[in-house]
């Protein structure tokens, strides 16, 4: 105890504690600034997310709409079925060149009904409808020969320029240099639209149809590429899940701490960070050059993606195995199970939800991967043919959803950009679905010990 007092204590304080001095003010201001910067950073991240998603939706949603022209086509038996016996083999001899004039006659009728016709030549009208119109009609006749001799209304794709005009992509004042469309044709389009012969409808062909050549943007669909992706995912699932689980079980439950185990661990963590394009090089050199597997085949794509996804699946499976408490293993061993039995009968079933979640996330990653597919020939290839039978789907050349999107993005006609954005919407819906399943699995089955 001391009686000494601080000399200043006798005076009244110069300022109140409630009144901040300059230094405290500065420190508080810097505190606030720092916090605001954090909020701004998060805001930037979220703004980019919103911008990205809204760009996709705004640009891509129009791909699901398509302009159709209703054309009554008289299927002239004298031209389509010369023998008159409706034999399917004979009908196939009539090519699209035979059908094209019939479609044009039908179109002429529609145009004349709208009050046009004299000033537009036949080739002018050809630009209104898709180049695929004749084959569209032919396919339907081959499927149902009884239509021959009747006048049938066909919903024919309008050409991509007409489609673009209705969607606001093609403008009247910008088409002076465009060989494929003229102002007179757009006038015609407007009046056909008033008549109701020309209308917009939902575009099923885009979702289920095949890709089309450069000049037929209106006909291009992502269906075949979707099938290619499906086959690849099948390969990845069948190979990566068992191999990944087996590797994780070994590393987590059996491996002793030695050089070999270390080597595997280092390899896995490095493979997880190897650029995906390098896996494409591996696929090209090992599977195509060395093993002579067919180019552009979903089987090869699936193998490459399997090698790429394995590290992801192994890492998440090991986490799931690690989460099962040791007491489960001890109890199994205690009642006389072998080490192998304790793992396969007890630990593995308990870890299964975690393993499946990890696998689905790995699959989703593989589904969106593009770069390795470019190197094994899944682009530059117009995927038009449906594989014949289930097994053929693995080896016959095909594309995949992301590769198809890349293919469209590279083409010159802006009509394909719309398809590319639309393809992205479909791809993202798949990814969203897979991630939702993973989240639900985790919520529903995850056990905490």
Q: Please, what is the end-to-end C-alpha distance for the chain in angstroms?
A: 57
Residue nearer to another protein on the CB measure, 270 or 327: 270
Helix (H, G, I), strand (E, B) or coil at 336: coil
Name the one range near another protein by CB under 8 A: 13-21, 38-46, 77-85, 169-177. 38-46
d(CA 384, CA 274): 33
Residue nearer to another protein on the CB measure, 30 or 385: 30
DSSP 238: H
Q: Tell me which of 73, 268, 363, 441 binds another protein, using CB under 8 A.
A: 268
**What beta strand segments (E) does 58-206 contain?**
65-74, 151-157, 198-202
User: Is the distance from CB of 34 to CB of 157 less than 8 angstroms?
Assistant: no
Q: Which of residues 280-299 bind another protein (CB under 8 A)?
A: 281-282, 284-286, 289-292
Q: Which two tokens stand for residue 160?
A: 């991509």
The CB-of-433 to another protein minimum distance in angstroms stands at: 13
Tell me which H or E stretch contains 191.
helix 183-195
DSSP 158: B
DSSP 8: G
Name the one range near another protein by CB under 8 A: 101-109, 159-167, 190-198, 262-270. 262-270
Name the one range near another protein by CB under 8 A: 63-71, 128-136, 243-251, 347-355. 243-251
Could you please report the per-residue DSSP string of 387-422?
PSHHHHHHHS----HHHHHHHHHHSSSTHHHHHHHH
CA 371-215-115 angle, 5° bins: 145
The CB-of-342 to another protein minimum distance in angstroms stands at: 11
Contact between 38 and another protein by CB under 8 A: the answer reads yes
Q: Which of residues 356-415 bind another protein (CB under 8 A)?
A: 364-365, 367-371, 374-375, 377, 379-380, 391, 402, 405-406, 409
Helix (H, G, I), strand (E, B) or coil at 399: coil
The CB-of-198 to another protein minimum distance in angstroms stands at: 28
The CB-of-318 to another protein minimum distance in angstroms stands at: 11
Contact between 271 and another protein by CB under 8 A: the answer reads yes
Count other C-beta atoms under 10 Å from residue 72's C-beta.
16
Residue nearer to another protein on the CB measure, 71 or 363: 363
Contact between 230 and another protein by CB under 8 A: the answer reads no
Q: Tell me which of 267, 325, 349, 433 binds another protein, using CB under 8 A.
A: 267
Q: Pick left, alpha or beta for residue 115 (phi over 0 → left; psi -120 to 50 → alpha; otherwise beta).
A: left
Contact between 198 and another protein by CB under 8 A: the answer reads no
Residue nearer to another protein on the CB measure, 11 or 23: 23
Site string for another protein, 41-80 (x = CB under 8 A): xx-xxx-xx--x--xx--x---------------------
Contact between 242 and another protein by CB under 8 A: the answer reads yes
Rounded to the nearest angstrom, the gap between the alpha carbon of residue 98 and the centroid of all alpha carbons in its chain is 37
**CA atoms within 13 Å, Cβ hemisphere of 104:** 16
Contact between 428 and another protein by CB under 8 A: the answer reads yes
């Amino acid at each position: 105890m001391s009686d000494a007092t601080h000399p200043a204590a006798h005076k009244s304080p110069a300022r109140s504690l409630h009144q901040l001095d300059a230094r405290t003010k500065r420190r508080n201001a810097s505190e606030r600034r720092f916090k605001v910067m954090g909020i701004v950073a998060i805001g930037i991240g979220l703004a980019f997310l919103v911008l990205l998603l809204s760009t996709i939706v705004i640009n891509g949603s129009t791909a699901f709409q398509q302009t159709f022209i209703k054309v009554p086509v008289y299927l002239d038996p004298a031209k389509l079925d010369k023998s008159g016996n409706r034999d399917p083999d004979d009908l196939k001899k009539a090519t699209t060149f035979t059908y094209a004039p019939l479609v044009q006659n039908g179109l002429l009728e529609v145009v004349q009904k709208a009050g046009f016709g004299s000033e537009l030549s036949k080739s002018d009208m050809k630009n209104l409808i898709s180049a695929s119109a004749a084959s569209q009609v032919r396919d339907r006749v081959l499927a149902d020969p009884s239509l021959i001799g009747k006048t049938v209304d066909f919903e024919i794709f309008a050409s991509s320029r007409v489609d673009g005009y209705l969607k606001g992509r093609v403008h009247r004042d910008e088409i002076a240099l465009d060989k494929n469309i003229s102002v007179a044709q757009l006038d015609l389009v407007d009046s056909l639209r008033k008549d109701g012969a020309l209308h917009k409808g939902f575009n099923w062909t885009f979702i289920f149809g095949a890709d089309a050549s450069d000049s037929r943007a209106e006909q291009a669909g992502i269906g075949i590429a979707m099938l290619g992706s499906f086959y690849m995912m099948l390969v990845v699932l069948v190979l990566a899940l068992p191999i990944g689980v087996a590797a994780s079980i070994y590393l987590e439950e059996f491996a002793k701490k030695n050089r070999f185990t270390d080597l595997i661990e280092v390899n896995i963590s490095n493979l997880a960070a190897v650029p995906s394009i390098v896996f494409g090089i591996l696929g090209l050199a090992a599977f195509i050059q060395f093993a002579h597997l067919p180019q552009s085949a979903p089987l090869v794509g699936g193998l490459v993606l399997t090698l790429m996804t394995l590290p992801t699946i192994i890492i998440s499976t090991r986490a799931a195995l690690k989460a099962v408490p040791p007491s489960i293993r001890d109890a199994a061993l205690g009642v006389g199970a072998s080490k192998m039995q304790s793992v396969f009968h007890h630990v593995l079933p308990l870890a299964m939800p975690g393993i499946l979640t990890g696998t689905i996330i790995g699959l989703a990653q593989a589904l969106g991967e593009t770069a390795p597919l470019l190197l094994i020939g899944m682009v530059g290839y117009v995927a038009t043919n449906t594989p014949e039978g289930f097994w053929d789907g693995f080896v016959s050349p095909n594309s995949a959803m992301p590769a198809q999107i890349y293919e469209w993005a590279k083409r010159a006609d802006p009509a394909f950009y719309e398809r590319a954005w639309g393809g992205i919407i479909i791809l993202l819906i798949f990814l969203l679905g897979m991630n939702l399943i993973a989240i639900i699995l985790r919520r529903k089955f995850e056990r905490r010990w």
